Amino acid sequence: MRQILLDTETTGLEPERGHRIVELACVELHNRQVTSNHLHLYVNPDRDSDPEALRIHGLDTKFLSKHPRFSDVADQLVEFVRDAEVIIHNASFDVKFLNAELERAGLPKFETLCAKVTDSLMVAREMFPGKRNSLDALCDRFGISNAHRTLHGALLDSELLGEVWLAMTRGQDSLLMNGDQDKANKPGQTVVMPFDASNLIEVRADAAALQAHEAYLDGLDKAAGKPSVWRACSAGITPEAGQTN
């Protein structure tokens, strides 16, 4: 399955009060590698941004007025995310804006357009409970440089999220063989990879360790007044109920 890192910038915090998307970016991951395939759109919201939102993204009304409206580019988004897992940091925020814009354009809800929406913020909170898990905080935690991020931008934030996501989930690499990431990501499918016992390291006890073990068991037998569970089982004798030594 394709994976898409998605981010938006908006005129404010509440689509219910008429706030709109002003920038949208999607960056593609394939087999846990960032590809050159991405979607980056500026959108004319037909309104001004709130001062706080403008301070964050720096996209003023004059600049945005030169770009198409969301309804004019919605099909590009629909096609790009089709059948992909979409990873969003604080997904509930972006998805509510996407759904509001899609509804205006007469299109289905965003969750129905892609295979899955994954909230990387929720994943981070499970991994690092009680800690700051903003994108900036995660960049610091994983040693990812975001020094060039003076303003929030959807494309830059999507690219940073890609690096953060790969860092957060890097342990998955050892569970997959032959780059079979696509199979492992299919909804409802568990991929069991072949087990190669030749990769295991066998460590055997030497004579001194065996002698020390026997001496320890002798001590258990003496203290209990009967064979220990280990020796009873080794001799094929069923231990008595409640015997734990």
Whether residue 208 sits in one domain with residue 171: no
The pLDDT tens digits for 175-222 are 333 444 444 444 444 445 555 555 566 678 888 888 888 888 888 888
Of the listed ranges 34-48, 81-95, 203-217, the least confidently predicted one is: 203-217
Tell how strand 21-30 and strand 3-10 pair up: antiparallel
Average pLDDT, the chain: 85
Instruction: Output 37 or 233, whichever has higher pLDDT.
Output: 37
Question: Does residue 21 sit within a domain?
Answer: yes
Q: Is the pTM of this model over 0.85?
A: no
pLDDT at 99: 98
Active site residue 152: yes
Question: Does residue 69 sit within a domain?
Answer: yes
pLDDT at 90: 96
Whether residue 110 sits in one domain with residue 211: no
Q: Could you say which of 19, 57, 152, 213 is catalytic?
A: 152
Question: Does residue 197 sit within a domain?
Answer: no
pLDDT at 239: 58
Q: Rg of the Cα trace of the chain?
A: 28
Whether residue 222 sits in one domain with residue 156: no
Cβ(119)–Cβ(92) under 8 Å?
yes
The pLDDT tens digits for 219-237 are 888 887 888 887 877 777 7
Question: Does residue 7 sit within a domain?
Answer: yes
pLDDT at 50: 96
Whether residue 87 sits in one domain with residue 51: yes
Cα-based angle 17, 158, 55 (whole degrees, multiple of 5): 50
Whether residue 168 sits in one domain with residue 60: yes
Q: Which residues contact 88 (CB under 8 A, 6 or more apart)?
A: 5, 6, 7, 94, 95, 117, 118, 119, 120
What is the span of the domain harbouring residue 36? Answer: 3-184
Q: Averaged over 98-108, what is the pLDDT?
A: 97
Question: Does residue 190 sit within a domain?
Answer: no
Largest CA distance in the chain: 91
> Which string of DSSP letters, residue by residue, matches 185-203?
TSTT--PPPPP-GGGSPP-
Question: Does residue 34 sit within a domain?
Answer: yes
Closest CA to 46 of 13, 27, 70: 70
Question: For position 103, which CATH number holds?
Answer: 3.30.420.10
Whether residue 179 sits in one domain with residue 208: no
Residue 136 amino acid letter: D
Residue 102 amino acid letter: L
Whether residue 240 sits in one domain with residue 165: no
Whether residue 160 sits in one domain with residue 63: yes
Whether residue 119 sits in one domain with residue 82: yes
At residue 152, φ and ψ (nearest 5 deg) are -70, 135
The pLDDT tens digits for 134-170 are 999 999 999 988 776 555 689 989 999 999 999 999 8
Whether residue 45 sits in one domain with residue 15: yes
Whether residue 233 sits in one domain with residue 142: no
Of the listed ranges 33-37, 89-93, 100-104, 169-173, the least confidently predicted one is: 169-173
Whether residue 233 sits in one domain with residue 124: no
pLDDT at 164: 95
The owner of tokens 């060039």 is: 148
* Whether residue 21 has pLDDT greater than 50: yes
